[in-house]
Structure 1
Amino acid sequence: MLRALEIRDILIIDRLDLAFQPGLNVLTGETGAGKSILLDSLGFVLGWRGRAELVRQGAAQGEVVAVFSLAPGHPARAVLAEAGIPEDDELILRRVNTADGRKTGWVNDRRVTGEVLRQLSDVLVELHGQHDDRGLLDPKGHRAILDDYGALDAPRDTVRAAWRARADARKALDAAQKALAAVRAEEDFLRHAVAELNKLDPQPGEEADLDARRRMMQAAEKIREDIAQASSALGYDGAEGAMANALRWLEGAAERAEGRLDPPIAALARAMAELDEAARGVADCLDALDFDPLALDETEERLFALRGLARKHGILPDELATLAADLSERLAALDAGEARIAELERAVREADAAYDAAARALTEARRAAAARLDAALAAELAPLKMERALFVTEIATAPPGPEGVDAVQFTVATNPGAPSGPLNRIASGGELSRFLLALKVCLSEERNRGVTMIFDEIDRGVGGATADAVGRRLKALAEGGQVLVVTHSPQVAALGGHHWRVEKRVKGEMTTSTVVPLDAGAREGEIARMISGDTVTDEARAAARALLAG
């Protein structure tokens, strides 16, 4: 509930403090007195997009503060929690507009963006006027209104999920088809390349090993003869035999040399061991150099094949094995592509069927909600002196989408036998006001609990008994809640629980607007003015007293 509105230096308002009450609050005043400025100021602190320049001429900045009381479980508490703002039973919104156009907002002394203010606005206040721009007159919003009225969040969410699943399935199928088409374009290349690579069967590191073996075999013929002579020199007919003889001769003489030959004998034994190791190494080298001449041709042939295939694919020889694996995978994907496409096509059919079923269920739920809404509207129109009017919620087929396959439009026929048509084209000004009020009443019973409803001259174009019926419906709507009405109708004003008069005052060259709370006597005078105009007659006062007496 809106408890207080404080305005400083906004347009022609210098300083204004208003304390609103539960129930029906009415604001009256002459045309141009500044009633719209109050709504502009409230809209400003709630983050609505309105006038660009709000600061009163000569002031450095304008400021609006709105104070709301929040009941336990009020939807605004969830908005506060999501924004990280401490919640309390009192909610204070404050917004400042500097003369250079900068706007800054606070919620409970925490600085916030205009978006947070607008989110709070959606659950705190609902503004409605004859030129409603919040969905009732715009067919684009009728489907959402019907869904809210019918509490169709669950079936609508099911349709949205089915729509996303359907879109994902189609996207996956499209991607698979494009990938398969791209692979098919290179099918001949893939099959030839994979066959060629599989036949060669390249191994990582093979090129370096082949190159080393090739170089060794090419050098073998040049060095083998020298190595063989060295082997012979090291063998028994060479150094090994000579050293063995020397060792045998020295060992035979050692007993008579009184130990003088022991060191030479030990040294010679060590030398023979080293000589044996050298001889074995040379023999091993000779064995390695002993190759089949055809082996060189085979080694060179494979080495050149590896290098040639690597050049063909523009990679290094060591990368051939990886390329073979990659191309084999692509070829396998091609071979399995048809089966994958069939599987994805089946998934699309299943997703389509799930969406169609969910959309049909939502359509049925909407038709049931439409029937209830039409009946509720008929019941509301009778007290508003429109019992002969017909309100119909039309549901037509629309292209599939995330909200289902339904196009919803509110249509009316104002007189029996008259053609029906869109709400905003058929009804006259007064009729339109009553249709919208009846709609508002029906739509507000559940979803607007805790919301302050503001009606801006919704009674324009009606008078007499009809205006009285409008006022009584507004009063009933305000029971247990809060309704603010800007009105020019004395019948509506008389039914208010609380009454303020908006006045324009001129002092010197300064024009200001103010709001005055009216007591019982002042209310009689204001309603009499609304009845008779500038000159308040005794008859007008008597009529005002009669209206106030109910």
Structure 2
Amino acid sequence: MLEELSVRNLGPIRDAQIAPAPGFTAITGETGAGKSMLLSAIRLISGGAASGSRVSAGAGEAWAQGVFCVPGDSDLSGTANAVGTLSPAGKAVQYAEEAGVTPEDGELFLSRVVPASGRSRAVLGGKTVPRSVLESVAGELITVHGQSEQLRIASAAKQREFLDMAAGDDAQLAAYRHAWDELTAMDERLAKLRSQEASARQQADYLRESIARIDQVDPQPGEDAELKERRDRIENAAAISQGVSSALAVLDASQMSEGSDAASAVDLVNRAAQALHGIQVGGVFAEQASRLESIAADLADVVFALVQELDGEGSVEDLDRLNGRIHELNELMRRWGPELSDVIAWRDKAVFEVEDLDASPEKVAQLESEREQLYQRAVHAAEALHEVRVQAAGDLGVHVSEELGSLAMGGASLRIRVAEHDGGDSPTGSLGPYGGDDIEFLFTPFPGSPELPMGKSASGGELSRLMLALELVAAEQRGSAEGMTFIFDEVDAGVGGKAAVELGHRLARLAESAQVIVVTHLPQVASWADKQFVVAKTQQTDGGMTETIVTEVTGEARTGEIARMLSGNATETSLEHARELLAESTL
């Protein structure tokens, strides 16, 4: 509910503040006085477009602020209906909190600063926010029925939202949305899997070819290091042979040529050991003799090892074979390495990956079966939602048509068509995010006229009255519109006499369950209001500038304003008529 609206430097309004009634508030004044500026202020705090041309002459910026009464943290849960869906006021609080703003003392401040040049600034609860945030929050708190706003009802989405709101089908819509979300999630999963299926086949082919290539080479752990060592030996065979031969010639010449009588190092060391043993004293000599025997044994082992190495060097043919093998291993390591152990590990892992990839067709078939079950569940939920909508559409059309007869639109009627959506080749058929229905509001302005889409077949005044009838019937069908603020502009265009009284009566009825603010020039409408504000021009003495002021009228002042609206000025006759009208305008 709008508790307070403040405006500064907006058009002809230098400074104004109004506190609308919780029920019915009328805003009146002579044509051209500036009533539209109050609506402009409301549009600004609702995130509407801003223009520096609206700033008052001589002012640097315009400012508008609305203070709304909203549920606090302790009351928020109470704003949810039976299926847990938040009320509009509850949603507004949720949007505000998502933007980092928490209501204080059950109040939410929405304001807008519009400079004469430059970009406007949107403020929520004292915090600068994107304009879209104001639009989201205000969209749950205020519904403006003016010439531009009413065109929105021409959209299929807005008509569906209105019908669902009037039908009170939250439970059915929530059930369908859950089924739809599961279905679309499965479709996304399948689409991803199918798109991957072709690449999975390519990946599997690549893995198989790679595994076959590695298996063909059949690398063994550590083989590359061993082969490189053998290659080094072959490449250095001459130097190795010369060095080993020289060493053997010194250590044991008999290993180099048969029949050589040169004493070997082993023999010499053994002779030295025997000489020490021959001393027969023992002690240090026996100890050193034992050491020499150990050295001789070690020398014999060295000789044996060198002889083996001298006989084991490979040929040129062996070198070619080794280089070929090393090249094969290097190719494997270049593609799947960097080490040979990495190649072997990659091959072992790839074997398991191929098995997983080969199983994807079966997985797709399984998910397709699950998807069919989810689709049938969504179809059943859509059918249940469709039944509720059809019933509500019929009731809403009948009752709105009845209301139109009392609003100077006799013979006019509204029919709400709920038809199955043509899904074409869509995989979800007729189903969409909000069910399987195409919803269209069809208006017949007079008998014999063809049904035409709402918004394209009515004048501004007719559309305002049609929206009033819709809001009134919807409020009665859903039981309450508590916390909502409805603003009507041009609702009284082309209305007079008894129809004007009926119009005021119906606005007062709507105000029993919601806050209603009406800009009107009809006294028969204004007389039903709980509060009345007059917008008037005033001539300033300093400089002769004309400004617009907004004043609440009560008592005799209000009677005088109603009299002015009746006859143009306050005469005894018009004053008496005004008193009678005010006395009669009660529910």
- Cα distance 1:363–1:498, how it changes in 2: closer, same or farther (>3 A)? same
Asked if 1:125 is matched to 2:142, the reply is: yes
CA distance in 2: counterparts of 1:451 and 1:9, whole angstroms = 28
Cα distance, 1:213 vs structure 2: 2.5
What displacement does 1:431 show?
A: 3.9
1:142 positional shift: 0.8
Cα distance, 1:226 vs structure 2: 4.9
Farther off after superposition, 119-128 or 282-291 = 282-291
For the residue of structure 1 that corresponds to 2:58, the secondary structure is coil
What residue ranges of structure 1 are gaps of 5+ in the alignment?
256-260
Matches within 5 A, 1:366-405: 366-378=389-401, 380-381=403-404, 383-384=406-407, 389-398=412-421, 399=423, 400-405=431-436
1:146 shift after superposition: 1.7
- The question of whether the paired residues in 2 share the 8 Å contact of 1:377 and 1:439 is answered with yes
Report what 1:530 is aligned to: 565
Q: Secondary structure at the match of 1:32?
A: coil
Moved more, 180-189 or 29-38: 180-189
Of residues 389-398 and 433-442 in structure 1, the stretch that sits farther from structure 2 once superposed is 389-398
Q: How does 1:199-214 map to 2 (within 5 A)?
A: 199-214=216-231
Decide which of 229, 235, 239 is 2:265's aligned counterpart.
239
- Corresponding position: 1:441 with 2:476: no
| 1:49 partner SS | coil
- Is it true that 1:273 corresponds to 2:294 in the alignment? yes
Q: Report the residue type matching 1:249 in the other structure.
A: A
Residues 77-115 of structure 1 show CA distances to partners (whole Å, capped at 9, x for unaligned) of 444443243521344444433333343454444444434
Given that residues 392 and 412 in structure 1 are in contact (C-alpha distance below 8 angstroms), is that contact kept between their aligned partners in structure 2? yes
Deviation string, structure 1 residues 156-198 (Cα, Å, up to 9, x no partner): 3444444444444344444444444346568877655533322
Q: Is the 8 A contact 1:529 1:536 kept in 2?
A: yes
User: How far apart, CA to CA, are the structure 2 residues paired with 1:188 and 1:130?
Assistant: 65
2:548 corresponds in structure 1 to 513
Comparing 420-429 and 453-462, the one that deviates more:
420-429
Q: Using the alignment, how far apart are the partners of 2:485 and 2:358 within structure 1?
A: 66
Superposition map of 1:134-533 within 5 A: 135-182=152-199, 184=201, 191-216=208-233, 219=236, 223=241, 225-226=245-246, 229=249, 232=252, 238-255=264-281, 262-263=283-284, 265-284=286-305, 286-287=307-308, 301=321, 304-305=324-325, 307-308=327-328, 310-311=330-331, 315=335, 318=340, 320-321=343-344, 324-325=347-348, 328=351, 331-332=354-355, 335-378=358-401, 380-381=403-404, 383-384=406-407, 389-398=412-421, 399=423, 400-415=431-446, 418-444=449-475, 446=478, 448-479=481-512, 481-507=514-540, 508-533=543-568
Give the drift of 1:25: 1.1
2:48 partner amino acid: W
> How far 1:418 sits from its partner (Å)?
4.6
Matches of 2:170 and 2:134, distance apart in 1? 24
User: Does residue 581 of structure 2 align to residue 547 of structure 1?
Assistant: yes
Distance verdict in 2 for CA 1:495–1:334, change over 3 Å: closer
Aligned partners of 1:312 and 1:111: how far apart in 2? 61
Percent of matched pairs sharing the same residue:
32
Q: Deviations over 1:227-281 (max 9, x none)?
A: 65566369997333433333333233243xxxxx854553443343244334324
Q: Distance in 2 between matches of 1:187 and 1:66?
A: 64
Q: Deviations over 1:39-78 (max 9, x none)?
A: 1123323433243433211123333333333454452444
- Within 1, Cα distance between the matches of 2:398 and 2:579? 37
Structure 1 distance, partners of 2:15, 2:461, is: 35
Distance 1:364 1:298 in 2: 88
Are the structure 2 counterparts of residues 468 and 281 from structure 1 closer, same or farther at C-alpha, using a change threshold of 3 Å?
farther
Distance 1:161 1:281 in 2: 85
Letter in 2 for 1:200: V
Contact residue 40 and residue 50 of structure 1 kept, 8 A: no
Q: Which residue in the other structure is 1:87 paired with?
A: 104
Q: What SS does the corresponding residue of 2:54 show, helix, strand or coil?
A: coil
Shift, 1:442, TM fit: 3.0
Alignment of structure 1 residues 37-76 onto 2, 5 Å: 37-71=37-71, 72-73=75-76, 74-75=89-90, 76=92
Question: Cα deviation per residue 1:261-302 (whole Å; 9 max; x = unaligned)?
Answer: 8545534433432443343244345446655969x9678646
Structure 1 position 503, deviation (Å): 0.8
Q: Quick one: distance in 2 between partners of 1:190 and 1:79?
A: 51
Q: Within 2, Cα distance between the matches of 1:174 and 1:426? A: 44
Q: Name the SS of the counterpart of 1:404 in structure 2.
A: coil
Compared CA separation, residues 229 and 147, structure 1 to 2 (3 A): farther
SS in 1 for 2:8: strand
- CA contact 1:234–1:240 (8 Å) conserved in 2: no
**1:422 Cα shift?**
1.8
What stretches of structure 2 of length at least 5 have no aligned partner? Answer: 77-88, 256-261, 424-430
**Equivalent AA in structure 1 for residue 161 of structure 2:** A
Root mean square deviation of aligned Cα: 3.7
Equivalent AA in structure 2 for residue 545 of structure 1: R
Which amino acid letter does the alignment assign opposite residue 11 of structure 1? G
Aligned match for 1:114, one of 127, 131, 134:
131
Q: Once structures 1 and 2 are overlaid, which stretch shifts more, 33-42 or 188-197? A: 188-197
| Change in CA separation of 1:297 and 1:345 when aligned onto 2, cut-off 3 Å | farther
Mapped partners of 1:418, 1:407: distance in 2: 23
The aligned residue for residue 258 of structure 1 is none
Aligned length: 543
The answer on whether the counterparts of 1:359 and 1:405 sit within 8 Å (CA) in structure 2 is yes
| Local SS of the residue matching 2:439 | strand
The alpha-carbon deviation at position 14 of structure 1 amounts to 1.6
SS at match of 2:491: coil
Alpha carbons of structure 1 residues 141 and 350: separation in structure 2 relative to 1, 3 Å: same
Q: Does the aligned pair in 2 maintain the 1:130–1:458 contact within 8 Å?
A: no
Which shifted more, 136-145 or 20-29? 136-145
Distance 1:268 1:450, change over 3 A: same
- CA offset at residue 472 of structure 1? 0.4
CA distance in 2, matches of 1:17, 1:183: 68
Q: Name the aligned partner's letter for residue 131 of structure 2.
A: G
